[in-house]
Structure 1
Amino acid sequence: MRDVFEDTIREALLFPAPMLILVPDGFEFSAPLRRALPEAQRLAPVDRQILFMLITHHYNMVGEAEHARLLPDRETLARLEYPALLMALRAPTAQNAARKLQKLTRPRRPVREEALTLAEIGGNSAAHQAAAALAADVQACLQGTASWSDIPRSLLLYGDPGTGKTMLAQATARSAGLPIIIASAAEWQARGHLGHMLNAMLGTFSQAAAQRPCIVFIDEIDSFGSRDGRDQHNSNYRRQVINVLLKEIDKFLAVDGTLLLGACNAVDTIDPAICRPGRFDKVVELGRPHLRQVAHMLRQVFTEPEEVLGLARLCVGQTPAEIDATVRAAKATARREGIPFDASYFTAHLKCNRPERPALERRIALHEAGHAFVTALLLGASAVERIVITKDVGMTTRGTAIIEGTTHEFEGEMAILLAGRAAEHLVLGDVSAGSGGGPGSDLERATRLQLHCDQVFGLGIHGPAWLGEPDMARLSRADWDRVRVKLQQFEQNARDLLAPHRDLLESLAGALILQREMNAEELWPWLSQITGSN
């Protein structure tokens, strides 16, 4: 489309006549035309005078008219979108058109009525703390005890689907007392081709700037991708979109009273220029809720403290979306069956839909205890922050062994990654597929780490050479054999570390099955025994 447009301009340049070129925001000419054409002049935004003249001409009116006093004010008209103008001009009279404009430019309530505050959500993770700090800073600016230029004004949340990133953004806005405008790449792209998408993007930021103080929340921001990504399909389109997004973010945050929130699942797929400080000052993971937050959620449904804690242990490890869906499904089932909905019914509903499998739960608990023990033995007991197990999966939150990037540290990290398999083999005599799976699994991370040592970090068989990012589909048989042997060695190292502590390992696994979640303080009695900590 750009090539066709530029050909038209080149043809027009052959004629000695004045030329007016109109282009939408975000459009970029090729380098030769950028150098040849004069600097672009931005058209003035629609105001009352422009709109008065337009309506007067459209309805063939003469002189002062009634519709002049009905037109929205300048700030409201700054939010006017082209479809709204066309819809208003379909009215039979000028007065009706002006009234229609008033209605169409009235801002929709940006935060849903049922949006919670941060206090009502009740989380205490790093993401919740960052959101609370942002809301407190905004309140300080509104009260005049701080200036907008002195506070962080952007936050990017990432994590698994369903962890409540959008809800946290809305709660931040409500706690700060600001309107929030929610947008996404998909929503902008749904407007049509590139020009329409860019206009929709510019409209979002213009609307927010006109409403400031205001928050813009860009959901699923990872769908923009990266300009330097391996996927070259539509790379030119993606590059233009990201370039305009970067410019709009910079212009938006240059104005006092503007805040930017974002959310995504995979932060490592975002263009680095988007998530750098100055655009997103802080990037924080929003993980699955801790036991205390799960109990806080269920306390909105069940009132007895004893009941809530037991139910929370059954739900720990699930995302807020999963817990909410489970509660709604149980309520609906109880209503259809004509049975009162209470804690005992919810417990029965959970156990019916997720039957107990004690052998699997014990394997999961041993697997996670293995990660924790080897982490403690190599890094210290305080390096293990949290263990969560459910009826299906487990998760251990811990520190990393890689600080300086030495061979010894990489080998320790891979031993920790394979410690779950090692614990299963040590106690149960075999291993499960629990360490495998997709990206992020223990085996995937250990495999990539070993390949990076060999091919990228200059710490492996190839010596001080950089061979580029490993391509799994093109590895030689020799490379695969080496990775397999090395990982088997690290798994054996982990098993050797665990063997003297087998009884304590099983004891911790039993406690995990009962408690479902243990934090650093609760893990200390077990881990301090094997590290000799006081």
Structure 2
Amino acid sequence: MGRNTFRNIIIAIIVIASISIGIKKFDLLGLESPETIRNTAQLNQNVVSSRMTYGRFLEYLEMGWVKQVDLYDNSRNAIIQASSPELGNRPQTIRVEIPVGASQLIQKLKEYNIDFDAHPAERKNLFISLASNIILPILFISGLIYFFQNSENLGGTSGPSPMNLGKSTARFERRPDTGITFKDIAGIDEAKGEFEEIVSFLKEPEKYTIVGAKIPKGILLVGPPGTGKTLLAKAIANEADVPFFSVAGSEFVEMFIGIGAARVRDLFKKASENAPCIVFIDEIDAVGRERGAGVGGGNDEREQTLNQLLTEMDGFKENKGVIVVGATNRVDILDAALLRPGRFDRQVTVNLPDRLGRVEILKVHARNKPLSDDVSLVQLANRTPGFSGADLANLLNEAAILATRYKKSKITKKEVNEAADRIIGGIAGTPLEDTKNKRLIAYHEVGHAITGTVLKSHDELEKITLTPRGGAKGLTWFTPNEDQTLLSRAALLARIIATLGGRAAEQVVFGEPEITTGASSDLQQVTNLARQMVTRFGMSNIGPMALEDENTGQVFLGGNMTSGSEYAENIADRIDDEVCKIINYCEQKAIEIISDNRVIIDLIVEKLLDVETMDGDEFRKLLTTYTVLPNKNTPYQSKFN
């Protein structure tokens, strides 16, 4: 018997039982039974039918308007024949419901000389009575239980059935084929090396056990979103060639008490039965958050689930051969008991790729894409600092979509650059008309470009454009020569000066009254950066002191951290003074640079208004006709005190 056939039989039993129980309910509620319906159908169809209350029926009796009465359902219902002057003495068939306890009705009918007849209820067969009252309800309930327990096997919905809430929802693959190998992973060589060792342990355990080594129980992948944590899990699932369980941390947490812990137990029970195997828990912070911070005094459902997870990973009962791989980008909120050796023995940090890593990642994602000869992946990697592997994959995919839009058979440099611009700055808008606003925006952007170009410690100019992107009417991009993990005081000052260069150009060219609101975001950036120099980096006359926590923004008072925003002993005023000194100095430096290059600015603006977009090489070529550009390899010497 096929699964679908059996399922249909179960459904048929449920339907029959429902009908039987429904008929019984009609009888119990005093509604029309089949016998009543049949008798009523035999009445003259030409006679008007209506309903009447019992009190009105008694009034009809007293008035002598009732001619005949038929009693049904053990005198619980009556159908009367009556005629009243109110309706022109026209014969009527009226139904009346007799209330319980109306025992004097027969006596009244005799008293008023009414012709009446009582119709007995239909006697039911004993077997039918037993079937409808006992057997079918039992079958109905049993069918429902069986149906819900086997809804997935019988072709039902894919979601968990009500009877299986405690079962693990992890996806299981005995021999996973994810299509991802270690060759498809680039830019995170350190993390890949850790997993290659785990795969080697699973394939050749004797090589490690001979020296007393034990396989790690857990590996925790930590890093920003998009850096390849889940991709690593897919690779190890494919390379290890052992049973693989994958589940999201949020799938353990339910509103019902005990469901999450039951799912954890069921998951590790299945994993133990298939050992050696790998269990991958994505976004483990959903269930592994530090205990004591939840609702209910540390006794909520999520914490009970975490307690069960801790026990299963390293409790009294040991799970041999089960490797747990977790992934999160919020390791700081995980419970300390979850991070200790014996549970997660290794914590692998998957950082954003460096320049060489970005080149390798771009090569991986460019394998199946026809690139033109003018596309340089090295240049693209230089232009995309801070991009994750997912960002780079999306960039090349956007370039391929643009090439299809332009009906090209290969991806050219134009599509790659446009895709990068879309991701960094947003979708291009309609170019502005040649008006006063457009000219002012041109001077503003050229101000950024010139100040950044002449400063020794600033990044190189990549591009300047007047094409609106996102919320910006114009953009100026700078590209660092190398990944800047550490920034000097000179580099920070150079960034503030270049950011204020746009406003300085407005002030020098158009005068103080014509300064616009276009620099509002620039002012927010420089204020934030200058404040960090004072409170976090110790780059002010206050001294090398950390006055704010870099991650939380909390302030330090007397050596202790507090969530407040007030400082002791007028320190807040000193911070504000130092911030103002830094910003004022940088503003004067920006105005000085703009004033020194006032002549060439007009030439560059006219050129920019004509071409809309100018790359860094062309800009520097124009600027060198008037100004000697510094060697960017020589640090900028600040005179700020």
TM-score, normalised by the number of residues in structure 1 = 0.54
The whole-number CA distance in structure 2 between the counterparts of 1:486 and 1:283 is 41
Structure 1 unaligned spans of 5+: 1-57, 60-81, 92-103, 372-389, 400-415, 496-501, 503-509, 515-524
Query: Counterpart in 2 of 1:159?
Result: 223
Aligned to 1:200: 263
User: Does the CA-based 8 Å contact 1:158-1:266 persist in structure 2?
Assistant: yes
Q: Distance in 1 between matches of 2:446 and 2:203?
A: 50
1:136 has 2:200 as partner: yes
State the alpha-carbon separation in 2 of the partners of residues 230 and 298 from structure 1. Answer: 42
Question: What pairs with 1:174-213 in structure 2 (closer than 5 Å)?
Answer: 174-189=238-253, 192-213=255-276
- 1:250 paired residue number: 314
The alignment covers a number of residue pairs equal to 370
Structure-2 change in CA distance of 1:244 and 1:471 (3 Å): same
1:283 partner SS: strand
| SS at 1:273 equivalent | helix
CA contact (8 A) 2:338 2:344 kept: yes
Residue type at the aligned position of 2:263:
A
Q: Which amino acid aligns with 1:269?
A: I
Superposed, 1:496-511 pairs within 5 Å as none
**Residues 217-236 of structure 1: matches in 2 within 5 Å?**
217-224=280-287, 226-227=289-290, 235-236=298-299
Matching residue within 404, 417, 422 for 2:493: 422
1:315 Cα deviation after fit: 4.3
Cα distance change on mapping 1:179 and 1:302 into 2, 3 Å: farther
Per the alignment, in what secondary structure is the counterpart of residue 562 of structure 2? Answer: coil
Task: Output the amino acid matched with 2:282.
Answer: D
- What code does the residue aligned with 2:363 have? H
Q: Secondary structure at the match of 1:236?
A: coil
CA contact (8 A) 2:288 2:334 kept: yes
Deviation at 1:365, TM superposition (A): 9.6
Question: Which letter does structure 1 place at the counterpart of 2:337?
Answer: A
Q: Which has the larger radius of gyration?
A: 2
Cα distance between partner residues in 1 of 2:329 and 2:399: 28
Secondary structure of the corresponding residue to residue 408 of structure 2: coil
Closer/same/farther in 2, CA of residues 152 and 335 from structure 1, 3 Å limit = same
**Of residues 364, 377, 388 in structure 2, which corresponds to 1:319?**
388
How far apart in 2 are the matches of 1:170 and 1:337?
A: 35
Contact 2:175/2:242, CA 8 A, preserved across alignment: no
Contact 2:224 2:351 in 1 (8 A): yes
Deviates more, 1:310-319 or 1:260-269: 310-319
1:339 equivalent among 404, 408, 413: 408
Residue type of the alignment partner of 1:150 = K
- Partner letter of residue 203 of structure 1? D
Amino acid at match of 1:201: V
**Segment drifting more, 303-312 vs 262-271:** 303-312
Deviation at 1:276, TM superposition (A): 1.9
Contact 2:362–2:392 (CA under 8 A) maintained in structure 1: no
CA separation of 1:264/1:143 partners in 2, compared to 1, >3 Å: closer, same or farther?
same
* Aligned counterpart, 1:470: 562
| Counterpart-to-counterpart distance in 1, 2:192 and 2:348 | 9
C-alpha contact (below 8 Å) 1:437/1:444 kept by paired residues: no
CA contact (8 A) 2:178 2:235 kept: no
Partner of 1:288: 352
* Per-residue deviation, 1:369: 5.4
C-alpha displacement of 1:127: 2.4
Give the equivalent residue in structure 2 for 1:350: 419
Q: Name the SS for the 1:263 alignment partner.
A: strand
Q: CA deviation at 1:247?
A: 1.0
Look up the match of 1:450.
Answer: 547
Conservation of the 8 A alpha-carbon contact between 2:395 and 2:416: no
The amino acid of 1:183's aligned partner reads V
Kindly provide the amino acid, as one letter, of the partner of residue 391 in structure 2.
Answer: E
Partner of 2:235: 171
**Cα distance in 2 for residues equivalent to 1:158 and 1:106:** 21
Deviations 1:360-388 (A, max 9, x none): 689899999579xxxxxxxxxxxxxxxxx
Question: Which residue is 2:336 aligned to?
Answer: 272
SS of 1:242's equivalent in the other structure is: helix
Alpha-carbon spacing, 1:488–1:175, altered in 2? closer, same or farther (3 Å): farther
The alpha-carbon deviation at position 358 of structure 1 amounts to: 8.2
Cα distance, 1:487 vs. partner? 7.1
- Give SS of 1:215's match: strand
Q: Provide the rounded CA distance (Å) in 2 between the counterparts of 1:205 and 1:364.
A: 58
User: Alpha-carbon deviation of 1:264?
Assistant: 1.0
Query: Is contact 1:116–1:171 with CA below 8 Å preserved after alignment?
Result: yes
In 2, distance between residues paired with 1:358 and 1:481?
35
Letter of the structure 2 residue corresponding to residue 223 of structure 1: A
Distance 1:312 1:327 in 2: 12
Q: Is the partner of 2:310 in helix, strand or coil?
A: helix
Is the alpha carbon distance of 1:130 and 1:362 closer, same or farther for their aligned partners in structure 2, counting shifts above 3 Å?
farther
CA contact (8 A) 2:535 2:547 kept: no
Q: In the alignment, residue 279 of structure 2 is paired with which amino acid?
A: V
Secondary structure of 1:450's aligned partner: coil
Alpha carbons 2:288, 2:335 under 8 Å: kept? yes
Q: Assess if the C-alpha contact under 8 Å between 2:180 and 2:235 holds in 1.
A: yes
Paired residue type of 1:471:
S
Measured in 2, the distance between the counterparts of 1:362 and 1:208 equals: 62
Measured in 2, the distance between the counterparts of 1:436 and 1:445 equals: 14
CA shift at 1:220, angstroms?
Answer: 1.1
CA contact (8 A) 1:158 1:283 kept: yes
In the TM superposition, what is the alpha-carbon distance from 1:254 to its structure 2 partner? 3.6
Deviates more, 1:132-141 or 1:110-119: 110-119
Which fold has the larger relative contact order, with Cα–Cα distance below 8 Å and residues 6 or more apart in sequence?
Answer: 1
In structure 2, do the counterparts of structure 1 residues 235 and 109 end up closer, same or farther at CA, with 3 Å as the change threshold?
Answer: same
Equivalent position SS for 2:336: coil
Tell me how far apart the structure 2 counterparts of residues 160 and 120 of structure 1 sit (CA, whole Å): 19
Which deviations, in whole Å up to 9, do the C-alpha atoms of 1:405-444 show, x marking residues without a partner? xxxxxxxxxxx68665323246676676557879xx8888
For the aligned residue pairs, the C-alpha RMSD in angstroms reads: 5.4
Whole-angstrom CA distance in 1 between matches of 2:407 and 2:395: 18
Give the SS at the match of 1:268.
helix
Give the 3-state SS of the residue equivalent to 2:364 in structure 1. Answer: helix
Compared CA separation, residues 114 and 243, structure 1 to 2 (3 A): closer
Assess if the C-alpha contact under 8 Å between 1:184 and 1:219 holds in 2.
yes
The structure-2 alpha-carbon separation of the partners of 1:117 and 1:162, relative to structure 1 and needing over 3 Å to count, comes to same
